[in-house]
Amino acid sequence: MKALIAGAGRLGTQIAQVLAAAGNNVTLVDADAHRIAALEDRITARLVVGDACEPVFLENAGAHAADLVIAVTGKDEDNLVIGLLAKRQFAVPRVVARINDDENAWLFDHRWGIDIAVPAATPLISLIEEATGAADTVALLRLSKAGVDIIETVISARSRAVGKRLADVELPDGTVIATVVRDGQPTVPEPEVRLRPGDELLLVSHAATEQEVHSAFQ
């Protein structure tokens, strides 16, 4: 699959890393040259500097041949324009756009070329699953080249980890917590952080199974 991702912030970069690791042809674009330069040694995707709201740039970046366009810039107006161009001008089969401000959610539909509108609080794994239409996110997120897995678990009100400090959770060997996403915002997984219902944890492991990780929290 050929994927073009507009917006090289935290979310766009993570999506690009996951899709590239799954064997897809990924292009990541951003208008900020410094942001792109900082990613050159950290990601295997094709990196391009430019304004994805400009039709000529979008075409040169590969929109005309893309199977999927994901607009995840920090501006809703840019995501809408990118979505409209991708669908109307380049006939991209699947267009996904992130909603930064919930008040703008009503705009993100087929009229602007958007197939999938994703609220800002949507977990990374769910976003990728919706974007690609993949039923097996575990296989999609398996970073075979790095020899590690990215595993997601969500803390529910019934999870036995509710109220526990991260330092008190016994993790499987070879497993670390990459981030705790709370209220849609990633936080540094400090040992003193206490888990709350709704917290989403992304963990990296080179040895544990998904079930072993889930068992540590659920």
- 15-61: per-residue pLDDT in tens? 887 787 667 899 999 999 999 998 887 788 899 999 999 999 999 99
Q: With 0-12 CB in 10 A as exposed, 13-18 as middle and 19+ as buried, what is 150?
A: buried
Which tokens belong to 148? 């590690």
Say yes or no: do domains 2-136 and 147-217 share a fold: no
Which pLDDT value is given to residue 164? 92
pLDDT digit string (tens) for 79-123? 999 999 999 999 999 999 999 999 999 999 999 999 989 888 776
2-136 maps to CATH 3.40.50.720: yes
- Domain locations in the chain as residue ranges: 2-136, 147-217
Residue with tokens 């209220």: 183
- Which of the following CATH numbers is that of domain 147-217: 3.30.70.1350, 3.30.70.1450, 3.40.50.970, 3.10.100.10? 3.30.70.1450
pLDDT at 199 over 70: yes
Q: How confident is the model at residue 76 (pLDDT cuts 50, 70, 90)?
A: very high
pLDDT digit string (tens) for 125-174? 566 666 666 544 444 454 444 455 677 788 888 888 999 999 899 888 87
Q: Where are the alpha helices (DSSP H) in the chain?
A: 10-21, 33-38, 55-61, 76-84, 124-132, 137-140, 210-217
In DSSP terms, 46 is beta-bridged to: 27
pLDDT at 210 over 50: yes
**CA-closest candidate to residue 70, choices 112, 103, 114:** 114
- What span, in angstroms and rounded, lies between the C-alpha atoms of 143 and 5? 19
Q: Is 188 helix (H, G, I), strand (E, B) or coil?
A: coil
